[in-house]
Amino acid sequence: MAFKKLSSLNIKMILPLHGPVYRNDIAYILDKYQKWSTYEPEKKGVIIIYGSMYGDNENAAEILASSLSEDGVMDIRVYDASMVDPSFLVSESFRVSNIVLIAPTYNMTIYPAIDVYLDDMLRMGLKNRTFSLIQNGSWCPASLGLMKKKLSLTPSFKFTATEVTVSSSVNEKTREDLKKVAKEIVQSL
């Protein structure tokens, strides 16, 4: 609404409450503001955010990324939540349409690095994204249900149908499930 009012003005400079003063590329910046403020993804693309203690979820992330690539998706990025600052993961979540979360179950909770990302992203009020959820657990997997509970508080979030459970490491069944998830993501893009 406010952006419509501004559209007739010849804007020379933007001085935001937070961040740098913009003197150049005003149209580019206004386009970003428009998308961020309406929660419209900048790109039809996929980020895969995984947590991994022993490498199995990293493997699942790579398998899913390969399947997506085989299915023709061009914009795919894979992030290790333990290595990338959550603020960066949040900005990536504003950029793309689809977010895949792969989380170990950690003493019957969500693996901490994924949980920190989730809370930060929810605090920023992101909307209108499609999530695909994958959990890992060796004896009593619980992270998927807990992630879904948090995400379900935002009514505009959608979920792809197949929920994947990795039992410690990827096997033939989970490999097939991951391929299914890739197809569902392609359909939702």
Contact set with ligand FMN (CB under 6 A): 52-57, 104-108, 136-141, 168
Give whichever of 16 and 145 is closer to ligand FMN, judged by the CB atom: 145
Q: Sign of the C-alpha dihedral, residues 170, 172, 173, 176? A: positive
Count of H-run helices and E-run strands, the chain: 7, 7
CB of 173 to ligand FMN, least distance (A): 16
| CA–CA gap between residue 69 and residue 117 (Å, rounded) | 25
Burial of 153 (0-12, 13-18, 19+ CB in 10 A): exposed
Instruction: Quote the least distance from Cβ 134 to ligand FMN, whole Å.
Output: 10
Six-digit token string for 116:
């920190």
Residue 67, strand partner residues: none
State the minimum distance, in angstroms, from the CB of residue 31 to ligand FMN. Answer: 38
Closest separation between CB of residue 112 and ligand FMN, Å? 10
Taking the least distance from each CB to ligand FMN, the nearer of 86 and 104 is 104
Closest separation between CB of residue 131 and ligand FMN, Å? 19
Is residue 50 within 8 A of residue 102, CB to CB? The reply is yes
Comparison of 19 and 55: residue with beta carbon closer to ligand FMN: 55
- Which residue, 108 or 124, is less far from ligand FMN as judged by CB? 108
76 phi/psi in degrees, rounded to 5: -130, 130
Indicate the residue among 55 and 155 with the shorter CB distance to ligand FMN. 55
Phi-psi region of 55 (alpha: psi -120 to 50; beta: other; left: phi over 0): left
Whose Cβ is closer to ligand FMN: residue 138's or residue 152's?
A: 138
Please state the closest distance from residue 102 (CB atom) to ligand FMN, in A: 8
Rounded Cα gap, residues 107 and 89, in angstroms: 24
